[in-house]
Amino acid sequence: MTAHNSALRRRLRRRMAIVSTVAAGGLLLAACGGDDMEGMDHGSGSSASATSTPTAGDNPAPGAFNDADVMFAQMMIPHHEQALEMAELADGRASDTEIKSLAADIEKAQDPEIQTMKSWLKAWGKPESAEESMPGMDHGSGGMDHGSGMSGMMSEEDMQKLEAAKGTEFDRMFAEMMIEHHKGAITMAEDEQKNGRNATAKKLAADVVKTQSAEVEKFDKILDRL
Residue 52 vs residues 61, 96, 114, 198: alpha-carbon distances, Å? 12, 47, 22, 10
Q: Phi first, then psi: what are they for 51, rounded to 5°?
A: -110, 150
Per-residue pLDDT reduced to its tens digit, 137-146: 443 333 333 3
CATH class of 3-30+60-129+152-225: mainly alpha
Q: 197 with 64: CB under 8 angstroms?
A: yes
Q: Phi first, then psi: what are they for 66, rounded to 5°?
A: -135, -175
Q: How many residues does the chain have?
A: 226
How far apart are the C-alpha atoms of 130 and 189, rounded to whole Å?
17
- Count the neighbouring beta carbons within 10 Å of the beta carbon of residue 63: 14
Per-residue pLDDT reduced to its tens digit, 30-88: 444 334 433 333 333 333 345 666 555 578 999 999 999 999 999 999 999 999 999 99
Q: CA triplet 151, 128, 158: central angle to 5 degrees?
A: 35
Q: Which residues contact 184 (CB under 8 A, 6 or more apart)?
A: 79, 150, 151, 152, 153
pLDDT of residue 163: 96
Residue 226, pLDDT above cutoff 70: yes
Residue 28 vs residues 14, 70, 90, 157: alpha-carbon distances, Å? 22, 13, 38, 32
Whole-prediction pTM: 0.74
pLDDT of residue 29: 40
Amino acid sitting at position 169: E
Sign of CA dihedral 179, 99, 208, 29: positive
Residue 21: Cβ-neighbour burial (10 angstroms; 0-12, 13-18, 19+):
middle
How far apart are the C-alpha atoms of 93 and 171, rounded to whole Å?
8
pLDDT of residue 116: 97
Count of CA atoms in the C-beta half-sphere (13 A) of 116: 16
Between residues 43 and 17, the one the model is more confident about: 17
pLDDT of residue 184: 96
pLDDT of residue 150: 72
User: Which sequence spans correspond to the domains of the chain?
Assistant: 3-30+60-129+152-225
